[in-house]
Chain A
């Protein structure tokens, strides 16, 4: 019996503590509880809706130590620290005394995917309320023992203190089952004015290990007896393995096994570089029949427009008949396929022990991944445990789930032995599911008053999520001798949407019509990439707003404000403009331009406005973001430095997408397979300065902020380039060549 594999939930959770988490009593299904018993009451907030027991979120030991559980996975954005702050604040325990355990199908609630800027809203809100309610239960217990009213008691550092000085620690108060109660719809939250931990820039708990060589990633895992595997992927989508003589590879130094299952091919060796060498030999020994027919990379927009689509009008407003649009404007914007481009190729460790499979993975969803892997292995989900361990930043659905499936399939072939698999750079680049190409067509008219009288917006896009649920989403399952079919793509429902995310403008126009053309056929493998369709839709809307403002002869900031009713949105715009020094009369230095853009992510998460200064080299066409000033409102701020870090990162990452990035391919193969063929932003393109100004909203709900900056950053750069050159670029990326061609045109 190997420790990590055969951990019995009951043993783990019972281990010496006074409180036993509900899962130990209710088994695996407990986390998927629906909370149906509270049907008559309003539902509790955040993920308490689906996992209502307080002890799904918090455990207090007899020694007073506190463990917080989240079903969300730390993706390098620092929310593990934020969760710890929230729990410490609401429970009134020292920050350092808490431990946070994340995404593990053996230990935590099922919170689905860690995506869509939902972690703070879902899990953060659940922890906030669970901690506040747990504190109230502890106080009530102390009141009972002290025979005092609860309001005669206060809490401090994990102790309940009576007005007469008597004290009881949480560990003394906690009793078996005390937190095994369903959450109430409302919680006795602390007054934000009294916060000492929430709202503070507490240093992240994961950074010390990351800057000193501590074990921080799944890539760093070393289990006893662990072997290393590498996969040989087909050269192109759909390629069939017609011949492969593995004999020579099997005799190479250190090679443990060659694993072949249909078109799935892998090799296992005792040491990692021996696995790499064997992989190269195996690839050379394999003969593939290629069948892929990829569209022409230069015609992707035409291809999308030419494919069958399912069309739906997602928003329509017919207000007062426009008094005859004075001026009409039309424009088409495009986005290419783009890569997540994780710096560390995806990696996983798996071990089969008896009939149990354990997979350590940097997946964004341990439960859906478990479901998919179990289906692939044709075993019940209860036989598979997925444990999240941090990986390199993923920015959406990269190779994480696929490599987890690779590891599981290989580990099944060598029972008992832990197997570590990491993809090679070219595998990550060629096989990860890309951010989908998109096309938007916009048409608007300006009334005699210089305001937008009518607005038409159409977007063509594939789905933005092919994430697992079923095995067919996993490459290994697609490549097996008995393969699983790729599931049919589905549009993601509004209000969050997929290709139509942020397609509905936040501005108020008297007449508006928004059409989503959902394109089911996917010429390239695609899935969720950070901010989904919002990146391109915000780029399109906010570019077009500038085009219209120019025709109207209006200042871009003033033009936006004149169409925006949302008060918080207006404040964010005003803050960014003010801190940038935006002025109607501004005139940038020669070859520089100023640009502005704004969005509220998904029209329901954080607000972000960005003002940019860009310099353009007219000789080379090279554009560089020089300065960006952002304002953000993400509701109640838990960790201001963490929020700033997210927005700074969004601006730089989006500058990279916007100025440099597109996946390339020929008629068969993906040809952008490393950092030379898929260039991204380097230090020579890093801005001189980025400022982030936060508008805090104490007591307001958390609004996810991990993806709010990408769309506005793209549009503000495009608008600044237009301001600098007088030329409007509508096809992403805004490369040096495109800018040069526009200048020369």
Chain B
């Protein structure tokens, strides 16, 4: 048994310590957003935020997460009460199949938490480790720019963990 802090709550987890965080999020905590894409840290679809930084949950064993704050897309907002980044992705219709999108959003969220006005080049560089197969890239970029504007205009504070 270990305690995992996810989306602002403590969870008692009964899993082998080498279990990657992704399987605990999806299996034990029944959270959908982080996705299994490769299990190799090559595609980014499993990305979550740990202590303010984007982390590949498919290659991060839970034993490394004692005392850390884990945030998943579910922790940012909901369909009824979306976070700025969720609103932006809806407004830009920035998905086709959408399987990669949660990971993209968490990487984008982590970027915006440390840099509220990233340039287009900075966003592209930040998302360099993420793959999308439907070709939704232009919309993803637009959605992250829009998020920055939404956050700025609303002066909304982010909820995902503490800044590093």
Contacts and interface: CB of A to CB of B under 8 A. Distances in A.
A519 B36 CA distance: 37
Contacts of B129: 682
Interface in A422-449: 422, 424-425
Interface stretch (A24-32, A75-83, A722-730): A75-83
B137 A652 contact: yes
B132 interface: yes
Interface string A368-403: 000000000000000000000011110100000000
A219 interface: yes
Contacts, number: 179
Interface string A618-656: 000000000000000000000001000110111111001
A210 B78 CA distance: 11
Nearest to A647: B135
Interface string A671-705: 00011100010111011011000000000000000
Given A273-B20, A343-B37, A683 B98 contact: no
Contacts of A653: 133-135
A689 B137 CA distance: 10
B124 interface: yes
Interface stretch (A199-207, A231-239, A284-292): A199-207
B74 A213 contact: yes
A324 interface: no
A201 B33 CA distance: 26
B155 to A, nearest CB: 22
Contact of B97 (A393, A675, A682, A689): A393
B164 interface: no
Given A273-B15, A425-B40, A653-B134, A77 B96 contact: yes
A203 B93 contact: yes
Nearest to B14: A271
Interface in A168-208: 201, 203-204, 206-208
Contact of A651 (B20, B72, B77, B135): B135
A14 B74 CA distance: 37
A425 B124 contact: no
B93 A207 contact: yes
Nearest to B100: A343
A648 B37 contact: no
Contacts of A425: 37-40, 42
Nearest to B102: A213
B96 A645 contact: yes
A2 interface: no
B140 to A, nearest CB: 9
Contacts of B125: 683-684
Contacts of B100: 343
Contacts of B98: 76, 206-207, 210-211, 216
B97 A392 contact: yes
B99 A393 contact: yes
A690 B142 CA distance: 12
Interface residues of A, number: 63
A340 to B, nearest CB: 8
Nearest to B86: A211
A391 B35 CA distance: 11
Contacts of A124: none
A316 interface: no
Interface centre among A217, A273, A656, A690 (most CB of B within 10 A): A273
A613 to B, nearest CB: 15
B130 A393 contact: no
A342 B133 contact: yes
B16 A253 contact: yes
A680 B32 contact: no
B130 A214 contact: no
A132 to B, nearest CB: 28
A220 interface: yes
B15 A271 contact: yes
Chain B interface size, as a band, is: 35 or more
A343 B27 contact: no
B97 A75 contact: yes
Contact of B32 (A208, A220, A342, A422): A220
Interface string B67-110: 00000111001110010001001100111111111100100000
B156 to A, nearest CB: 16
Contacts of B35: 217, 219, 343-344, 392
Nearest to A344: B99
B19 interface: yes
Contact of B128 (A272, A341, A683): A683
A683 B130 contact: yes
B31 interface: yes
Given A214-B32, A217-B99, A343-B100, A675 B42 contact: yes
Contacts of B138: 648, 652, 686-687, 689-690
B79 A208 contact: yes
B40 A214 contact: no
Contacts of A211: 73, 82, 86, 89-90, 94-95, 98, 101-102, 105
Contacts of B73: 211-213
Given A271-B15, A343-B43, A648 B139 contact: yes
Contacts of A272: 23, 26-27
B123 to A, nearest CB: 8
A343 B16 contact: no
B151 interface: no
Nearest to A211: B89
Nearest to B85: A211
Nearest to A275: B23
Interface in B1-42: 15-16, 19-20, 23, 26-28, 30-33, 35-40, 42
Contacts of B141: 686
Nearest to A253: B16
Contacts of A651: 135
A649 B135 contact: yes
B127 interface: yes
Given A648-B138, A651-B135, A683-B128, A209 B36 contact: no
A220 B45 CA distance: 14
A392 B28 CA distance: 22
A228 B136 CA distance: 31
B131 interface: yes
B128 A212 contact: no
B27 A271 contact: yes
Given A343-B131, A674-B42, A213 B33 contact: yes
Contact of A395 (B16, B90, B133): B133
A44 interface: no
Could you say which of B26, B77, B93, B94 has the most chain A C-beta atoms within 10 Å of its C-beta?
Answer: B93
Contacts of B74: 212-213
A342 B38 CA distance: 10
A296 interface: no
17 contacts: A76-B96, A76-B134, A211-B94, A212-B78, A222-B30, A271-B23, A272-B27, A343-B131, A344-B36, A344-B99, A393-B96, A395-B133, A425-B40, A651-B135, A674-B38, A676-B42, A689-B138
Interface of A: 75-78, 201, 203-204, 206-217, 219-220, 222, 228, 253, 271-274, 276, 341-345, 390-393, 395, 422, 424-425, 641, 645-646, 648-653, 656, 674-676, 680, 682-684, 686-687, 689-690
Given A425-B40, A648-B138, A652-B138, 20 more contacts: A76-B97, A76-B98, A204-B93, A212-B77, A212-B79, A213-B72, A216-B98, A271-B15, A343-B132, A344-B35, A344-B45, A391-B97, A649-B136, A650-B135, A653-B134, A676-B42, A680-B131, A683-B130, A684-B125, A689-B138
In order of increasing CB-CB distance, the 7 nearest A-B pairs are A76-B97, A652-B135, A393-B97, A213-B33, A649-B135, A210-B98, A392-B99
